[in-house]
Chain A
């Protein structure tokens, strides 16, 4: 036999190779376009062969995502994307399985699957398109809409408290929890790249503008004039400082965070809380996750927490291999004859 060397892929894939032939049908100006573009941009360089990508989604605007990626794709039913994706991943752990889901799909009808997928550390990459509104059903409030929000279904204002998806994932000890935003392509790409490399459930909440039903929901985090005072970029090993002149910082007083002015002289950057993404204790990340509900606090972007744990799909595989080692590969005749048998001549 000749010593064949394996065929080397010479054609370097580009973002275009990840765009399907289907016309993208989101509303012009929708934040989803940016998310799609960033995903197509990072995909060629993740070190994953194109045929190993599987995109799974549920129902909603975000869930049309798989149709636009030229990979394997499965557009499921409302709320069930994570469950379908779990089946794909357990069946073939060799695949890189991604989920596109929205605040209604993931947190309302799919809330149960969301909690349990994170809890199991199923090796899935989950992009939550959070626009804080129901788009495809034309403008009802969603589980992440702020209390008091007036929508088609809440003419007197919503009386629901909003869901905090980051806090929930930390609560079930999810292994990769991050937040990004449609209007910051570089940051979003960086988060996608890190999620791709993570082993286990990688969850990114992406703030995404719905310019039809909830336009401007995230202006505070995107507009040059106010952005710097309203967001804080979390980076591992770096102090949590923010503000136009990096003149504000977060100081932790026991369990209580506070925003301090670094220009007055009372506090210096040495007093500021240094972010540790890899802290096994979820307490600090959980405190960060609640900044969204705290008056005067900046909204954190970046990785809240990343830890290492074995994955459900990996453990399934290991159990099978381990048991085969002990018992030998299954033999049907032996299986049928197990237990008490008798023979009739």
Chain B
């Protein structure tokens, strides 16, 4: 039966099931194939902290949301058009997020008494009117998978685990995606387990052909490739982009890359990625704890490496004292904080922006550091290079902020030619003149003297240093001088960073100012509000300490400033404090990215409903 093909502009799909159902894998495979189909896309993995929460429970539901389109898109989508629910709990947890009239594809095989009870359903929602208004497509996914695998001699459990590939195949058919990349992936992944390989491939194909043959679907959909700027693209997550950015920086500064790290969600993928690239001379050191990780990083920087450490909020808290040591010894290190929900252990797998003040101020003493924040998953690449450049040029620790959404989320990355990335000059001290470890250059940076260089033997450490000589000094005037010197050095970076760009009118009624991972949601909100006639401009900070030099001028060009943040107003505090300019904070701290529509509503509220 030939089916109609309907052309869509964009679609948001959410895959949801048990943490053990392979939803993240299904989602990332679908993403990969969608990228290859040439669509623009943005993803939002959303999973519980428990690795395998008890099956069927509400708190064990794992989801993966993907927004793809024939044009430029900024967010993983506010609310899904399509939900694939592998069990009753997945349906219950996700139902409230769906668009009106959304399509729900349910795995009816999982809607038995036990699972309904685990999901706290008194009545089967497929049998009452609770799903009215949605287009519900009932597919016995598990059962169909089992029959498709009848001839494969693996256990029943192993067969059942293939149901995500059946669902994936069905969605590939429904949205006209290429299937080959997943077939190749299965071949590679299960090369040593021929029966599992066969089963997964069969399930995938069975799902695909089921779509073609069933009468449940009268039509399938097609989304034209997006008209992205010319170039070669790949799909990339923020954590991958961060890792590649540091490898690029290491090549560009011609120094070996050292990573000292302790596994922590959601930052571990950077460690995983970097540990694969030993042929770039990358030395990854999985330390015994967060403190050892940064301490070793400082040691490696002292020895002349491009040295970085990666962590998330609780880890940064543990590293605090050592960051101060790097400030005092003026060594170039980069600390990546993939922010997650806090305080304490908080929400390990969820996103948040609440470590800004911790990064700018959270140390004993006056201990200024440079703070940067990436705006999108692909921007993590550029910010890793930028963080490395600043750390080396100014001999300072740099904190690079990303977050769980950026780290795990992905988007197409326009691959830069390696030679388009500027070199990062490094000037190690030479023994050709008298050497003073705390003498300063025009950037106020002290010399970087590599152990092993004859004639430059010197001592540094956490005790206050005398100006120029670097000897231990308890002199009051020297301390006052050095406190100011360290601050001046960080302030000086302002002259070396780009001005803040304003999108839209350069002055006017309202500026929406953001930083970090809210870029996509703010951009979409401002674009939509502008389309319907509102006068609103947008600016996004990637340099947070110091701020860009023109920030005050930009702020004073607008009557109102709106700052949406996934915290209780940390950037707003900094802006008020620094410039005595009042701002409107918009704060939603739910462990999730902003919805663009919520920000749009806020914009409309501030500018007044159009008459």
The chain A residues found within 8 Å of chain B, CB to CB, are: 20, 22, 49-57, 59, 66-67, 70-77, 80, 83-92, 94-95, 112-113, 115-116, 316, 319-320, 323-324, 326-333, 335-337, 339-345
Closest to B451 in A: A72
Closest 4 CB pairs of A and B: A75-B461, A87-B299, A87-B296, A330-B280
CA A115 – CA B288 in complex, angstroms?
Answer: 9
Q: Is the CB of A87 within 8 A of B258?
A: yes
Chain A CB within 8 A of B247 CB: yes
Chain A CB within 8 A of B156 CB: no
**Given known contacts A87-B285, A87-B297, A327-B279, A336 and B415 CB-to-CB distance under 8 angstroms:** yes
Interface size class of B (residues with CB under 8 A): 35 or more
13 sampled A-B residue pairs with Cβ under 8 A: A73-B460, A74-B299, A76-B325, A77-B295, A80-B291, A83-B291, A87-B258, A87-B299, A112-B288, A330-B247, A336-B415, A336-B418, A340-B235
Chain A CB within 8 A of B43 CB: no
Contacts of B554 in A (CB 8 A): none
Chain A CB within 8 A of B492 CB: no
Report the number of A-B residue pairs with Cβ-Cβ less than 8 Å. Answer: 214
Complex interface residues of chain B between 448 and 504 (CB less than 8 A to chain A)? 451-463, 471-472
**Given known contacts A80-B322, A88-B303, A345 and B32 CB-to-CB distance under 8 angstroms:** no
| Chain A: minimal CB distance from B93 (Å) | 31
Q: Is the CB of B233 within 8 A of A342?
A: yes
Contacts of B281 in A (CB 8 A): 320, 324, 330
| Chain A: minimal CB distance from B191 (Å) | 18
Chain A CB within 8 A of B543 CB: no
Closest to A119 in B: B288
Q: Is the CB of A340 within 8 A of B459?
A: no
Chain A CB within 8 A of B314 CB: no
Q: Is the CB of A77 within 8 A of B299?
A: no
Complex interface residues of chain B between 224 and 272 (CB less than 8 A to chain A)? 225, 227-235, 244, 247-248, 251, 256, 258, 260
Closest to A78 in B: B321
CA A186 – CA B307 in complex, angstroms?
Answer: 40
Contacts of B299 in A (CB 8 A): 56, 74, 83-89, 91
**Given known contacts A112-B292, A344-B229, A88 and B451 CB-to-CB distance under 8 angstroms:** yes
CA A95 – CA B304 in complex, angstroms?
Answer: 12
Contacts of A67 in B (CB 8 A): 459, 461, 472
The chain B residues found within 8 Å of chain A, CB to CB, are: 32, 35-36, 38, 181, 225, 227-235, 244, 247-248, 251, 256, 258, 260, 277-283, 285, 287-289, 291-293, 295-305, 307, 321-322, 324-325, 329, 415-418, 421, 451-463, 471-472
| Chain B: minimal CB distance from A8 (Å) | 14
Contacts of B304 in A (CB 8 A): 91-92
CA A113 – CA B292 in complex, angstroms?
Answer: 7
| Chain A: minimal CB distance from B493 (Å) | 25
CA A51 – CA B418 in complex, angstroms?
Answer: 36
**Given known contacts A76-B462, A113-B288, A87 and B307 CB-to-CB distance under 8 angstroms:** yes
**Given known contacts A51-B454, A75-B462, A112-B292, A323 and B279 CB-to-CB distance under 8 angstroms:** yes
Q: Is the CB of B35 within 8 A of A340?
A: yes
| Chain A: minimal CB distance from B19 (Å) | 26
Contacts of A330 in B (CB 8 A): 247, 251, 277, 279-281
CA A96 – CA B458 in complex, angstroms?
Answer: 15
Contacts of A84 in B (CB 8 A): 295-296, 298-299, 302
Contacts of B232 in A (CB 8 A): 337, 341-344
Contacts of A328 in B (CB 8 A): 279
